[in-house]
Amino acid sequence: MQMPTVYLKPREEIRIRAGHPWIYDNEIARVAGSPEPGQEVAVLDASQAMVGCGFFSPASKIRVRIYSRAKARVPADKAFFVEAFASASAYRSRVLDPGTSCFRLAYGEADSLPGLIVDSFSGVSDSGPGRWLSVQFLGMGVERKKSLIVDALEESFSPNGIIERSDAPVRSMEGLEPSSALLRGEVPGSITIEENGCVFSIDLSAGQKTGWYLDQRDNRAAAARYARGSRVLDAFCNQGGFGINCLKGGASSVLALDSSPEALAAAALNARLNGFSERHSILEANAFDALRDLERTQEKFDLVILDPPAFAKSKQSVEPARRGYREINLRGMRLLKRGGILVTCSCSHWFDNTRFDAVLEEAAADCGRRFRILEERTQAKDHPIISGYAESRYLKCRILEML
Ligand code: SAH
């Protein structure tokens, strides 16, 4: 097969061979041929040895994203995607708890499918049994191959519908416009899914990201194990996931806080669907203000959950992010009763484990309290962490008990 070739500068293959999937523009010595945006290229090191194949992206600083590490030139054709989906699916069958009906089926580079996110949702009850895929095309390569990928998804999984939710800001770094559309079949306005024994009504076309934050599934179950009899604050609740899991776990009440009225309406609906309306209330506010106000009125909780959006979206924003994490964690800690539990998360890869744990130590010191570290958790296994690819390790969840 005709495939243009990208030659790396000396030693630039080391990081790639160690597992990293991105080749930056300044690591390339020369390009032989004239690859089109998104086209497959063969990547060779300075001694002409094959490193792998990747998608070429002329507009991005990440010039090539590796999808194959074979020694041969592997085209990213339909057969390639069918095989990649089979392997991604087999991995999930192996690691997910039996009965997990909604999960991330393909997680981009971590599944050797650069730029492609596929979330799989199976419906229960009113929406009828069915399976829907919510897909993000976040790189030039998968954008170019969109129709072939959708064919491969249909062939592999026979879903009732496939919806595109490529409305993520990272697309602009590849020179791509946001794009959301129904790609195949039908997707109802809302579907009812099951998670950890709770049900949630979600809207795949309008919810944040792909419609539901699947990466927190196991952390929600973990939080619920401490919830019995607790008064819970679920800050940055989105559609109510943590709080409703806690109510299922026997919480006496949940205050669900978010700045998005749409998310809160969904959270209230979800509380009702589970029969928890009487123990569930919502508060629309900026969490930074609301946590301060709750402290001022001397509110106290047995369990506080903090699951903010990524404060550090780049290396440059690590410092402002530190201040943000420190402030909400300090405020969250001050709202806890003695012996209370803090479930605190950060989903920013740039703000790594060391930084996050340091912020928690500082906040605890500022609060004048010590904490017992009960659990150090990360993302659910359908969001795999790959050696040599630090960006794949992004979610941190700590469960702390105030002493
Ligand atoms: N805990 C959720 C996911 C949280 S995503 C779950 O388990 O599914 C982060 C949420 O924070 C989003 O719903 C977003 O609307 C909300 N958010 C962002 N900035 C906020 C702010 N300053 N105050 C309150 N909520 C905020």
pLDDT digits (tens, 9 = 90+) for 299-330: 999 999 999 999 988 888 899 999 999 999 99
Q: Which atom of ligand 1 is nearest to the CA of 237?
A: 1
- Residue among 345, 347, 367, 397 flagged as catalytic: 347
Is 4 or 175 the better-scoring residue by pLDDT? 4
pLDDT of the residue at 219: 98
pLDDT of the residue at 167: 87
Lowest mean pLDDT among 72-81, 169-178, 253-262: 169-178
Question: How many whole angstroms separate alpha carbon 230 and alpha carbon 359?
Answer: 26
User: pLDDT exceeding 90 applies to what percent of the chain?
Assistant: 89
What's CA 397's distance to the chain center, in Å?
13
Whole-number Å distance, alpha carbon 257 to ligand 1 midpoint, is 8
Whole-number Å distance, alpha carbon 259 to ligand 1 midpoint, is 7
Neighbours of 25 (CB within 10 A): 12
Whole-number Å distance, alpha carbon 260 to ligand 1 midpoint, is 8
pLDDT of the residue at 314: 82
Site residues for ligand 1, CB cut-off 6 Å: 208, 213, 216, 236-238, 241-242, 258-260, 263, 286-288, 307-309
pLDDT of the residue at 89: 98
pLDDT in tens, 85-138: 999 999 999 999 999 999 999 999 999 999 999 999 999 865 567 999 999 999
Whole-number Å distance, alpha carbon 395 to ligand 1 midpoint, is 15
pLDDT of the residue at 128: 64
pLDDT of the residue at 313: 82
Per residue, the 3-state secondary structure of the chain, as one string, reads CCCCEEEECCCCHHHHHCCCCEEEHHHEEEEECCCCCCCEEEEECCCCCEEEEEEECCCCCEEEEEEECCCCCCCCCHHHHHHHHHHHHHHHHHHCCCCCCEEEEEEHHHHCCCCEEEEEEEECHHHCCEEEEEEEECCHHHHHCHHHHHHHHHHHHCCCEEEEEECCHHHHHHCCCCEEEEEEECCCCCEEEEECCEEEEECCCCCCCCCCCHHHHHHHHHHHCCCCCCEEEEECCCCCHHHHHHHHCCCCEEEEEECCHHHHHHHHHHHHHCCCHHHEEEEECCHHHHHHHHHHCCCCEEEEEECCCCCCCCHHHHHHHHHHHHHHHHHHHHCEEEEEEEEEEECCCCCCHHHHHHHHHHHHHHHCCCEEEEEEECCCCCCCCECCEHHHCCCEEEEEEEC
pLDDT of the residue at 207: 81
Mean pLDDT of 391-398: 97
pLDDT in tens, 330-362: 999 999 999 999 999 999 989 999 999 999 999
- Which of 121, 219, 247, 258 best tests ligand 1's pocket when mutated (most atoms within 8 Å of CB)? 258
- Which of 119, 198, 259 best tests ligand 1's pocket when mutated (most atoms within 8 Å of CB)? 259
Mean pLDDT of 269-284: 98
Residue nearest to atom 16 of ligand 1 (CA): 236
Whole-number Å distance, alpha carbon 263 to ligand 1 midpoint, is 8
The verdict on whether 347 is a catalytic residue reads yes
pLDDT of the residue at 1: 57
| Cβ neighbours of residue 328 closer than 8 Å, sequence gap 6 or more | 235, 287, 288, 291, 306, 308
pTM of the model: 0.96
Q: Which atom of ligand 1 is nearest to the CA of 307?
A: 1
Residue nearest to atom 18 of ligand 1 (CA): 309
pLDDT in tens, 192-221: 999 999 999 999 998 888 889 999 999 999
Q: Which atom of ligand 1 is nearest to the CA of 212?
A: 8
- Residue 53 predicted with pLDDT over 60: yes
Residue nearest to atom 15 of ligand 1 (CA): 260
Contact 46, 14 (CB under 8 A): no
pLDDT of the residue at 265: 96
pLDDT of the residue at 257: 98
pLDDT of the residue at 125: 64
